[in-house]
Structure 1
Amino acid sequence: MKATWYEKTGPATDVLVVGEMVRPEPEPGEVLVRVRASGVNPSDVKARAGTRAGGSGMPFPRIVPHSDGAGVIEACGAGVDRSRIGQRVWLWNGQWQRAFGTCAEYVALPANQAVPLPKGFDDATGASLGIPALTAAHLVCSDGPVSGQTVLISGGAGTVGMLAVQLARWGGAHVVATARPGADTERVLAAGAHHVVDYANEGLEARVLEANNGRSVDRIVEVEFGLNIDADAGIIKPRGRIATFGSALCPRPELPFYPLMFKGVRLEFVLIYLLDDEERAQAISHVNQALESGALKVPVHARFVLADVAQAHQAVERGRRTGTVIVEIS
């Protein structure tokens, strides 16, 4: 089979190889998926570069990158219902703690990691769901229904932020988001936010409260925890929840302990790879329901063929994306 792999970390053009590998066979409890599209996430390019927080280097001698993907089940291992053969699926955690991910013509992985893709959606959409959409669903919905609540989405123009805006609106929340003025703001409003606040200006706390008619917010989805936690402490209501999935600009934050404590604020640090079975099933259900209802539109920033996988990684590294980066596997 055709595949991409690397055997050392470093720049994409230096270490990524495109060539032929032996096709895997599904073990008991696994399915073999013919991959049609592979999603590239920041965690994938950081792992390949050797700069991923919490771990670097080569955990396996050869790595086929990428956790997300979509395709068709072609074979089943022992114990898996053979009626799944021919089913279109989207994939999650394809390369999490495994050597071989989705950037290949075939991947074998546990059957529960191949989720039926709702009818009417293309492979690029399916390959965009594993990390971004499940992260957004857990950030917004893990603490219960959001109907009638106000949810603040920090960084609403990012891939996860854009999906979180849509999921919060689908769930019946009043959605306030932050974004740059101009095109980003227009995109976030089009995704369903009721109000968008420029995060670059001073006075973020006051402007968010103004957008919510002076009321504190029930939940905050935070992409820059260290940078925004002081403002968040003033914005969140008593017993509110802050769920964060990033702190790139301030990786060692100082917490305003007493403002958070005297509100009884609940903090959750979200790493989507580590959800338990119940949390994962809930997030998957929310994503597929929102897709089927037409409430979730997954933006694709760029598409690349397998031979240009290094350029796909570079597109993610450059940032300022308007959606996911997809490698199409012919």
Structure 2
Amino acid sequence: MNASAFTTSSSLTAKHGGCRCRSQCAPSASRLSICQLPQQGRRLRDRDRFSLRVANEPRTEVSTDPSNERSEADKIVDGMDFGELCNEFECISSPLVESTARQLVRDILELREGNRALGTYAVSVKYKDPVRSFMGRDKYKRPLWVTGALENPSVSVQEMVMLSTSVLRIMWTIRGKPRSVFAAIGGDLIVQVNSQFTLNQISGQVIEHEESWDLSASSPAAQAFFWTSRRLFATTEAGKDLAESVKNLSRRLSTERENIEIYPDPSGDPTKFFQRDNGFQRDLYQIALFLAVLYFVVQFLRATL
């Protein structure tokens, strides 16, 4: 299913100063049910819809004004179809999917690093590209490859489409001058990125993120620079991953040791303590106590009967 198959059918009525949305969902999976609230200041009209599929059109470069960047991201998302949220029996998605899509395109256009909205990603999100893969949203806090490898990089979004109610695809382009004297001779590096996000249909969070790259618009020198610098970047990040794993394992083992009960040493200084696990000894005491109670019950019954 692709985004071009989706259509919109919704109605909105006002009551006592508020709003009430009544969506009409068709049984076909190719229908869309979305409520646009009036206070959002947007209406889905055919003449105002933003074209999602761009073919050989001039790219819109990112403005230096943050308000314009946000406006551009909003215009892209406002024109999207998000699939069938509900049918006659149940709702299979939520408006949070749209909120996540809006935030993702914002992060891309602004090349956000440390201030990226991590709430849009699940805690155990999985990321994969041709040279690197990882798990965990904390790794999205790290610096981006593009900011360290290119001078004055610019970003443009060509296409943003929901392939289904849970899969979002964003086609975007990075352009910049390589930070290398030899690579810069070949001109700007142009990377066409295909980002595919799999979303949780209820929470709207990204659970899988996969990227692929097309460098056909770049010179051979720029392409060589890209793959060399990208692999070096991936190796460095993998080293950070390993260091974090060792650190987390050490912290976990330390916590487990602290949770073991502390007993005084009966054979030495009463102020000296040592740690031991007496689970087996406790079980023996409980079994002995049970047998003693059973013995006394049997003896009592024999004496009274």
TM-score, length of structure 1 as denominator length: 0.23
| Higher RCO (C-alpha under 8 Å, 6+ residues apart) | 1
Task: Tell me which protein shows more helix as a share of its residues.
Answer: 2
TM-score, length of structure 2 as denominator length: 0.25
Which of the two has higher C-alpha Rg? 2
